[in-house]
Every structure is written in C-alpha cells, then in structure tokens.
Chains A and B, each alone.
Chain A
C-alpha cells in the first residue's frame, strides 16, 4: 500500500500568480483534506473533499479552491497569490464523510514561496 504523495516538493511563485498543488491519496481513501502550515504554526484546515465534493471548509477565501478526482488524486488551486500564502501545504487522506474522526494520513507537503 503506497502512502500519500504530493507534488511538487517546492515551488516559487510571484504575487498575483496562480498555483496548482497536487496530491495522490492512499488507495481506497475517499476523503482528502488540505491544510496550510505557516512557519512556526500548526496546520490550518483549508477544506475537505468527500467523493469529489467539498463538504467542509475552514476560514480561507474563495481564491483557494480544490478538486478531487475518482482516481484518488486531488488538487489545491490558489489564485491571485499573496505573500502570506507562503507556507507548507499538506494534504491528508482518510475514509468516510466524518473524516476528522478517523486517522488522517498526511503527505510530505509542498513548500510554496511567494515573492
């Protein structure tokens, strides 16, 4: 069984640009969550997708959007990048609609730097 993978590992963008981060969940996991982790902080919940539909969202503006595909892959899209978007972005896969109750399997993260 393969673990959660994320790509790319590192990314540098400039203010105003758009970025797409990718995640491949563990096989059989129908729920994916995305988190933003700023330096020195704990992960902060962005949103969760269950069976290809968003079913939970944290305090993030609409320029943060996502997609989940039937093949257990997912994307996090961020439009109009701001300097404060610089962070480590983590995806976590699990099973079930009430996923936070279940063990979350985290990927290694994508480090985004916005200049």
Chain B
C-alpha cells in the first residue's frame, strides 16, 4: 500500500525566508506525485505535479527516488503562501486514487 508522510504538522517562517515542506512516500513502483494546496476558505486545488516539471507561484518540487522524497520549495516566502499543503501520490490508473499525506499548515509571518 502507498503511504505519504509529511513530518511537519505546522511550519512557520518569516516573509522573504526560504520555505521547504517535506514529503516522503513509500511505494515500490514509480508513483506520480503532486502537491495540493488549500487556502483559507477555499477548496483544495492542485499546486503542481511532478510529471509537468513546472514551477507554480514560485514553488518547485524535485523527486528524489533514492530518498523517496518530493519536497516542496520556494526561495522567498510571501504572506499569500499561508495555507494548508498536502502531498499526494498515485500509482496510476483508477484503482488507487490519490493517497494524501496529513498536510502541513504553512504560516508566513510578516
């Protein structure tokens, strides 16, 4: 079974500081990985996915198969980045859906 671990329940950083949200996955195959975000009073939405290799809102995430990690990074945090962030994986196909971590609440202090 897949498992996604986000070790930090809460992460607080100052505006302009670098941000790194940790995500580790366990799956013997080659999962696809995603970061979803939920801003205050908004619904859960896709931030970025590994297969697209894109940077969204200044965030990037690199897949490290050796460490089975998919950490989310941003060099300079902004106050509007404050939100709940969920790492998710899927093995592919419709059989497993998305497996989510428990989420990290990111707070950007002014």
Asked if B94 is at the interface of the complex by the 8 Å CB criterion, the answer is yes
Interface residues of A in 68-115 (CB under 8 A from B): 90, 92, 97-101, 103-109
Closest B-chain residue to A90, C-beta based? B44
Q: Are A56 and B43 in contact (CB under 8 A)?
A: no
Q: Which residues of A contact B43 (CB under 8 A)?
A: 3-4, 106-109
Q: Are A48 and B32 in contact (CB under 8 A)?
A: no
Complex Cα spacing A36 to B28, Å: 25
CB distance from B41 to the nearest CB of A (A): 10
Complex Cα spacing A105 to B103, Å: 18
Q: A-B contact count, CB below 8 Å?
A: 75
Q: Which of the residues A4, A45, A50 comes within 8 Å of B98, measured between beta carbons?
A: A45
Q: Which residues of A contact B94 (CB under 8 A)?
A: 31, 48, 50, 55-56, 97-100
Q: Are B46 and A43 in contact (CB under 8 A)?
A: no
Q: Which residues of A contact B90 (CB under 8 A)?
A: 100-101
Q: Are A101 and B92 in contact (CB under 8 A)?
A: yes
Complex Cα spacing A4 to B97, Å: 18
Q: Which residues of B contact A47 (CB under 8 A)?
A: 97
Chain B positions 1 through 36: 1 when the CB is less than 8 Å from some CB of chain A, otherwise 0: 000101000000000000000000000000010001
Q: Are B51 and A101 in contact (CB under 8 A)?
A: yes
Complex Cα spacing A104 to B100, Å: 13
Q: Which of the residues A42, A50, A92, A99 comes within 8 Å of B86, measured between beta carbons?
A: A42
**Interface residue ranges, B against A (CB under 8 Å):** 4, 6, 32, 36, 43-46, 49, 51, 86, 88, 90, 92-103
**Interface residue ranges, A against B (CB under 8 Å):** 3-4, 31, 33, 35, 40-48, 50, 55-58, 90, 92, 97-101, 103-109
